[in-house]
Structures are given as C-alpha cells and as structure tokens.
Structure 1
Amino acid sequence: MNWYLEVLKKYVVFSGRARRKEHWMFLLVNIIAVIVVVTVDLAIGTFPLLYPIYFLAVLLPHLGVIVRRLHDTGRSGWFILFGLIPLVGCIILIVFLATEGEQRQNAYGPNPKSVTAY
C-alpha cells in the first residue's frame, strides 16, 4: 500500500527514476482498487459513474510512474508511445517495464535502489 501512496504523492512527477517494485506494486493495488470501485459502482446501480472518476484520478500518477520506470532503464519517457502500436506495442512496453534498471546514475538521476530514506 505504501508503494501506491508514494506514486500518488508524486502526482504529476515525470522526472527521476522508479524501481520495478514501485511500478508493479502500484499496478497491483490499482487493479484491486478498480475491481472494488466497479463492484461498488454495480452494487449501487451507477455503473458508468464511479469508475471513470477513479480512472481519471489515477491516470496522471500512472503515466508518471511508467515514465519514471522507463527512465530507470535508461529510456526516454517517449517510449510509452510504443503502447499505441497494435498487438506488439504493449508487449514491447511490458518488456521495457520489467527490465532491471541501470545500476549506476544515468541521465535521469541516481539509482533509486541506492537512495536511502531518512
């Protein structure tokens, strides 16, 4: 849950780097939250109401963590556009997101694994 909240705290931060764990834990909690929101939306009979609101609320943080994750692998945030290519684009993007980040500091900042919290 902390990973999810950390991403939300960096609401529109597209600079820096994000660990694999940060991205994938955010995605996992987000999927669970979507299931809960859709279930509640269906239960109260307002289906197309709550889900779009939640989707728009987490759209920018999700894009931000994807861009920071791409930065961790040494790629530009523009590589997110690979997701727009039918069929293979999403697979390529998933491979990029699952790739281990660069161990040393790159053009986007220091290695997030080596940064210690105070």
Structure 2
Amino acid sequence: MFINILGGVKLLKMLFMIIQGLFALALLIPSIAVGVRRMHDIGKGGGWILVNMIPLIGSIWFILLAIKDSEPGPNRFDK
C-alpha cells in the first residue's frame, strides 16, 4: 500500500518492506500460540493448526474448529 504511494523512492520502499517483514515476524509466534491454545481448548492437539496449509479448504476447516465450543471441564491438556 505505502510502497505504491512512494513511487520511485527505492530507499523508502526498502525501509517499509523491512518494517513490514519485522512486523510479520513479530506477530508470527503469538499467532501460532493462540491457535495452539484454541485447539487445546476444544480437545485437539496443537498440530491441528497445520490444517491451514491445505489450500482453501484448510482455512475453512480451521475456522470451523476455532468457533467450536470449548470442552466443559478439564481436558487432556490441562495440568
């Protein structure tokens, strides 16, 4: 978005790309942690977040898993 506005200013383009990359990396680990925690809440293993790697259907499947109600009481992941 910002890169197109800047036009031919290569240094600013590079700076925005670096900032965008760092931002994406900073959000990667917390996003994975939230997904694993949600899968544990419904009684599935954390590896179920890898279902997202299946094109199109995987994302839909993961969303359906994520909106499921949590298991009542303790589950196998509670210590």
**How many residue pairs are counted as aligned between the two chains?**
70
Which structure: greater helix fraction? 2
Higher relative contact order (CA 8 A, sep 6+): 1
TM-score of the pair, normalised by structure 2: 0.77
Q: Per-residue CA shift, 1:11-33, capped at 9, x if unaligned?
A: xxxxxxxxxxxxxxxxxxxxxxx
Q: Per-residue CA shift, 1:83-112, capped at 9, x if unaligned?
A: 0111100000011111111111001117xx
Q: CA RMSD in A?
A: 2.0
Specify every segment of 5 or more residues in structure 1 that has no aligned partner in the other structure, as ranges.
Answer: 1-37, 111-118
Indicate the residue corresponding to 1:30 in structure 2. none
Which letter maps to 1:81? L
Give structure 1 regions of 4+ aligned residues with deviation exceeding 4 angstroms: none
Indicate the residue corresponding to 1:21 in structure 2. none
Displacement of 1:47: 2.4
Specify every segment of 5 or more residues in structure 2 that has no aligned partner in the other structure, as ranges.
Answer: 7-11
> 2 CA distance for matches of 1:84 and 1:70?
16
User: Which residues of 2 match residues 75-90 of structure 1 at below 5 A?
Assistant: 75-90=44-59
The structure that has the greater radius of gyration is: 2
